[in-house]
Amino acid sequence: MGMGGGGVALPNDSAMIIATNPAGITETGTQVNFDISWFHPVRGYSQTGAAFGLGATDTDSGSTNFYIPEMSGSYAINSTSSVGIAIYGNGGMNTDFSSTAPSLIGGGNNGTYGPNMANGNPIEAGVNLKQMFIAPTYAHKFMDGKLSVGASILFARQTIAVKGLQNFRGFSVDGGNMTNNGSSMSTGWGGKVGVLYHATDAITLAGSYQTKMAMSKFNGYSGLFAEGGKFDIPSTWTVGGAFKVAPAWTLTADFQRINYSGVKAISNPSTDYLLGNGTPGNGCAGGDMTKCLGGSNGAGFGWKDVNVVKLGAQWQMSPALQLRVGFNHGTNPVGPEDVVFNTIAPGIVKNHYTAGFTYALDKNQEISGAFMYAPTVSVTGQNTIPQALSGGMAPVVDTTIHMKQYEATIGYAYKF
């Protein structure tokens, strides 16, 4: 905890290393861990140049506090083999904008994508995505303990609920299954492999790879996500090292790649695919149904692949106390051309600053804690949707999305 999200080469005596590098449980012995995180994202949007009844007031999402539990355990079968399991989740990936939020498509303060063109009523808008992972794991030591190799079978369950997109039903291949259908569930499988190599007494190198997870379709939103509701979990890979630069000091450096481009529902462009360039056969509006919401190559969120650099430092202050700090920097997946659709999913933070500790209560028990802060990031892009919906009567305006994050985690471990 507290090392910028890194540590692929530093198990740190925690079975939760499974989530980063399954090979690491060869060094965690027999133990159980329980953690809970408070996650507090602050996100919203604003407009400039608003006219023709478009709302011009800044607004933030109403959902800001999330509690995310996780647990893990490892068991040393013998001196070379270990098994373990981790159960963890991704939460807080949602937004909730009221029916009085400024409209991005016209009609004053009648909701983010309001008012409803069918009846003139204001519209609440938002999305709620939750993901849970279960990772049974096996790892084995080779080369007299210098090399460890591990593998996890990954099971994922995700649920999603989307509301407030009624005015986009005309851009969908299945308008009855693209918004306001409550919670829809999806499950799927994947795998993760990892290696851990002690090059010297002071240098440890490591890497891990997680496959793309093929998920079942969100049937309730088959008209929203590309390929009839497919929302796979992208593949990732991480490489890094841990360097013991002094008896009490260890530094870590990781590089991670998240391959969003392998998932159409996430990576396909949004506005460009929906509106095209106004010529027949270009984009959903031009008659290319494959690019409509829910189509075989349908519009998505326009997310690009992300590169993340993670740096951390750990100080063994005393036999019982470890202190940690960290930093990571990731590229922004959202470009100006996809701002409007990402209003309900603004995953745009770049930098994370972290700090943490572990304190041994006795030879069997320890507590850990960490804090993370991600400063505000904003992305501004042109909003052409009002102009398209009004037949060119409304002007193009600028829409800005923004987000910052806080997170605090507390954990307990018992070692046998």
Full DSSP string of 372-394: EEEEEEEEEEEE-HHHHHTTT-S
- The upper half-sphere exposure of residue 106, i.e. CA atoms within 13 Å in the direction of its Cβ, equals 18
| Residues 6+ away with beta carbon under 8 Å from 119 | none
Q: CA torsion sign, 267 to 269 to 273 to 275?
A: positive
Q: CA torsion sign, 137 to 141 to 146 to 151?
A: negative
Rounded Cα–Cα distance for residues 117 and 234 (Å): 35
Rounded Cα–Cα distance for residues 171 and 291 (Å): 9
Helices (H) and strands (E) in the chain, counts: 4, 16
State the pLDDT at residue 53: 53
Mean pLDDT in each 10-residue stretch from start to end of the chain (416 residues)?
93 94 98 97 84 64 92 98 96 85 78 80 92 98 97 98 93 95 97 98 98 97 97 98 98 98 95 77 88 95 96 97 98 93 89 97 97 96 76 75 96 97
State the pLDDT at residue 103: 84
State the pLDDT at residue 389: 65
Structure tokens of 250? 């260890």
Is the CB of residue 124 less than 8 Å from the CB of residue 109? no
- Minimal CA–CA distance to 332: which of 310, 306, 311? 306
Residue 50: phi and psi, rounded to 5, are: -70, 140
Which domains does the chain carry?
Answer: 15-415 (2.40.160.60)
Query: What is the three-class DSSP state of 23?
Result: helix
State the pLDDT at residue 54: 53
Which residue reads 């090392």 in tokens?
Answer: 3
State the pLDDT at residue 385: 77
Which residue reads 């740190």 in tokens?
Answer: 12
CA 200 to chain centre: 35
Rounded Cα–Cα distance for residues 186 and 393 (Å): 41
Task: Return the bridge partners of 337, or none.
Answer: none
Is the CB of residue 188 less than 8 Å from the CB of residue 134? no
| Residues 6+ away with beta carbon under 8 Å from 83 | 25, 74, 75, 77, 136, 137, 138, 139
In this structure, what DSSP letter does residue 257 have? E
CA distance from start to end of the chain:
21
Which residue reads 């590169």 in tokens?
Answer: 307
Which H or E element spans position 272? helix 271-275
State the pLDDT at residue 93: 76
Rounded Cα–Cα distance for residues 180 and 158 (Å): 17
